[in-house]
Amino acid sequence: MEKQVLSPEINRSLYADIEPYNSGLLKVSDIHTIYYEQSGNPAGHPVVFLHGGPGGGTSPSNRKFFDPNFYRIILFDQRGAGKSTPHACLEENTTWDLIKDIEKLREHLKVPEWLVFGGSWGSTLALAYSVSHPDKKEIDWFYEGGAAAIFPDAWEPFRDLIPESERGCFVDAYHKRLNSSDKQTQYAAARAWTKWEMMTAHLLPNEAKIQRGDDDEFCLAFARIENHYFVNKGFFPTDSFLLDNVEKIKHINTVIVQGRYDVCCPMMSAWIHKAWPEADFRVVPDAGHSANEPGISEELVAATEKLKYTIKDSGH
């Protein structure tokens, strides 16, 4: 399939700040209630934003990737994250639970069809959601010392929290502490885990992002839930589950944006495009992991603009 080329006039800048016109809580199980919000055009084309982490939660800036005149923008906090309750809860918190939540939210909001937008973990969840209705190498690289060669100063505090006798698997060692019966042990591990990721998420240091590692409540949800998913290998039945099922979603108009210097989710992880040549694959040469890096945010906005015009042309 021939790839569409964006016209030079297409908008690539983040849209202005907007406020939600609606927000609410949706009870999705006996335990969990998720927070959701809607902004933009109530009569617009629905788009659902799937945040990263797992456990990262949404933020107001996530609304800015979308034209508020065209899109009905739907954000929600996944189980245990952000404003969803109970906070940092791991019980009944799996990929398949989240996929069910997405469908429950779609039905609750009476959305017949929507555009799915995900970054970092959110992109994996978006693919899993699509093929349903993490690659272990990636985790080893980032949490077991590979990325330390690039960020040794950030790695040392993460490493040093764990005694040498337990450094055979940092993910397991942190899992033990993040699930300790002692709250202070949980907080210490959560701060170290979160700071490691926040210090490596940008090509150039982002102080505002790094300071999130000082917020114990944010860190606890971010680290506990993320680690929980990693220990359980994303709750996928096999490491190649998404690749094995990519045929089911090849017909969906898709844009993949990848930062060249992303150490959190290295570019090899985006190499799904080799099995999915129909997808529009874009590499940002001067960016790391974060969706808020200028080059990545420009490509993400351009992608939502491209899909906007595709939707308009199709008459939907």
| One-letter amino acid for residue 53 of the chain | G
- The CATH 3.40.50.1820 portion of the chain extends over 22-134+235-314
**Band of pLDDT at residue 2, cut at 50, 70 and 90:** very low
Is pLDDT of 26 > 80?
Answer: yes
- Strands 22-27 and 45-50 turn out to be unpaired
| Residue 298 CB coordination number (10 Å) | 17
Please identify which of the residues 51, 202, 228, 289 carries the catalytic annotation. Answer: 289
Please identify which of the residues 51, 262, 280, 297 carries the catalytic annotation. Answer: 262
Known catalytic residue at 172: no
- Range in 32-36, 248-252, 266-270, 303-307 the model is least confident about: 266-270
> How far apart are the C-alpha atoms of 197 and 194, rounded to whole Å?
5
> How far apart are the C-alpha atoms of 207 and 290, rounded to whole Å?
13
Q: What is the pLDDT of residue 316?
A: 60
Q: Which residues contact 309 (CB under 8 A, 6 or more apart)?
A: none
Q: What is the pLDDT of residue 271?
A: 65
Residues 35, 63 contacting (CB under 8 angstroms): no
Is pLDDT of 164 > 80?
Answer: yes
**86-90: average pLDDT:** 98
User: What are the residues facing 258 on neighbouring strands?
Assistant: 283
pTM score? 0.86
Q: Which residues contact 310 (CB under 8 A, 6 or more apart)?
A: 4, 253
More confident: 170 or 138: 170
Residues 101, 27 contacting (CB under 8 angstroms): no
Is pLDDT of 21 > 90?
Answer: yes
Known catalytic residue at 215: no
**278-291: average pLDDT:** 92
Tallying the residues shown for the chain, one arrives at: 316
Is pLDDT of 84 > 60?
Answer: yes
Q: What is the pLDDT of residue 27?
A: 98
Q: What is the pLDDT of residue 134?
A: 39
**Band of pLDDT at residue 313, cut at 50, 70 and 90:** confident
DSSP per residue, 154-221: HHHHHHHTS-GGGTT-HHHHHHHHHT-S-HHHHHHHHHHHHHHHHHHSSSS--HHHHGGGG-HHHHHH
> How far apart are the C-alpha atoms of 56 and 78, rounded to whole Å?
9
Known catalytic residue at 120: yes
| One-letter amino acid for residue 289 of the chain | H
| Residue 80 CB coordination number (10 Å) | 28
Q: What is the pLDDT of residue 8?
A: 45
Please identify which of the residues 84, 120, 130, 290 carries the catalytic annotation. Answer: 120
**291-310: average pLDDT:** 94
Residues 16, 64 contacting (CB under 8 angstroms): yes
- Mean pLDDT taken over the chain: 91
**Band of pLDDT at residue 68, cut at 50, 70 and 90:** very high
Is pLDDT of 73 > 70?
Answer: yes
∠ CA 25-30-34, rounded to 5°: 25
Q: What is the pLDDT of residue 165?
A: 94
> How far apart are the C-alpha atoms of 22 and 174, rounded to whole Å?
38
> How far apart are the C-alpha atoms of 18 and 184, rounded to whole Å?
37
- Range in 36-45, 118-127, 259-268 the model is least confident about: 259-268
**211-240: average pLDDT:** 94
Domain 22-134+235-314, CATH: 3.40.50.1820
